[in-house]
Amino acid sequence: MTQAIIQFPRGFLWGTATSAHQVEGNNTNNNWWAWEQQAGHIDNGDKSGLACDWWGGRWKEDLDRAVETGQNAHRFSIEWSRIQPAPDQWDESALERYRAMLRGMLERGLTPMVTLHHFTNPIWLEEQGGWENDDTPQKFAAFVRKAVQALKEYVSYWVTINEPNTYAVAAYKAGEFPPGKKSMSAYLHSSINLVRAHAMAYRIIHEIQPEARVGLSMNYRSFFPATSSPLDKLVAGIQAAFFNDVFPKAAQDGKVRFLYRTINIPEAAGTQDFLGVAYYTRDRVSFDLASGAAMFGRRHFPKDADLSTNGFLANEPEGFHEALKWGLQFNVPMIVTENGIEDTDDKVRPRFIAQHIRQLWSAVNYNWPIKGYFHWSLVDNFEWERGWAQCFGLWGLDVETQARIRRNSVDLFADICKHNGLSSSMVEKYCPEVLQKIFPD
Ligand code: BGC
- Domain 5-221+268-281+308-438: CATH superfamily is Glycosidases (3.20.20.80)
**DSSP β-ladder status, 334-339 and 213-225:** unpaired
Does residue 162 line the site of ligand 1, with CB under 6 A?
A: yes
Evaluate: CB of 308 within 6 angstroms of ligand 1. Answer: no
Q: With bands split at pLDDT 50, 70 and 90, how would you rate the model's confidence at 259?
A: confident
> What pLDDT, on the 0 to 100 scale, is given for residue 274?
99
Sign of CA dihedral 164, 165, 170, 174: positive
Per-residue pLDDT of 291-345, as tens digits, reads 988 899 999 999 999 999 999 999 999 999 999 999 999 999 999 999 999 999 9
Ligand 1 in contact with 163 (CB < 6 A)? yes
Give me the mean pLDDT over the 35-42 stretch: 98
Provide the pLDDT confidence category of residue 172 given band limits of 50, 70 and 90: very high
Task: Write the DSSP assignment of 375-395 as a string of letters.
Answer: ES-SB----GGGTTS----SE
Q: Residue 441 C-alpha to ligand 1 middle, in angstroms?
A: 36
Other CB atoms within 10 Å distance of the CB of residue 127: 13
Measured in whole angstroms, how far is the alpha carbon of residue 17 from the centre of its chain? Answer: 8
**Res 10 pLDDT > 80:** yes
What pLDDT, on a 0 to 100 scale, did the predictor assign at position 287?
Answer: 97
Q: What is the pLDDT of residue 1?
A: 58
Quick one: pLDDT at residue 294?
85
Model-level pTM greater than 0.95?
A: yes
Tell whether ligand 1 has an atom less than 6 A from the beta carbon of residue 166: yes
pLDDT digits over 87-99, tens only? 999 999 999 999 9
CA of 121 to the centre of ligand 1 (A): 16
Is the CB of 342 inside a 6 Å radius of any atom of ligand 1? no
Q: Which atom of ligand 1 is nearest to the CA of 19?
A: 9
Give residue 6's pLDDT: 96
CA 382 to ligand 1 centroid distance, Å: 10
Contact 186, 129 (CB under 8 A): no
Percent of the chain past pLDDT 70, that is, above it, reads 100
Q: Which is the closest atom of ligand 1 to the Cα of 219?
A: 7
User: Could you tell me if the CB of 338 is within 6 A of ligand 1?
Assistant: yes
Residue 387 Cα, ligand 1 centroid: separation in angstroms? 12
410-427 pLDDT, tens per residue? 999 999 999 999 999 999
Instruction: Please compute, for residue 293, the number of CA atoms within 13 A of its CA located in the half-sphere on the CB side.
Output: 7
Q: Is 297 within 8 Å of 239 (Cβ atoms)?
A: yes
- Write down the domain spans for the chain: 5-221+268-281+308-438
Ligand 1 pocket member 392 (CB < 6 A): yes
User: What is the rounded average pLDDT for all residues in the chain?
Assistant: 98
Tell me the one-letter amino acid at 390.
Answer: Q
217: helix, strand or coil: strand
Q: What is the pLDDT of residue 292?
A: 85
Whether 41 has a pLDDT exceeding 80, the answer reads: yes
165 Cβ closer than 6 Å to some ligand 1 atom = no
How confident is the model over 142-163, as a mean pLDDT? 98
pLDDT at position 269 over 70:
yes
Residue 229, pLDDT above cutoff 70: yes
List of residues 6+ apart from 75 with CB closer than 8 A: 15, 16, 17, 18, 112, 113, 114, 115, 159, 337, 374
Cα-trace Rg, the chain: 21
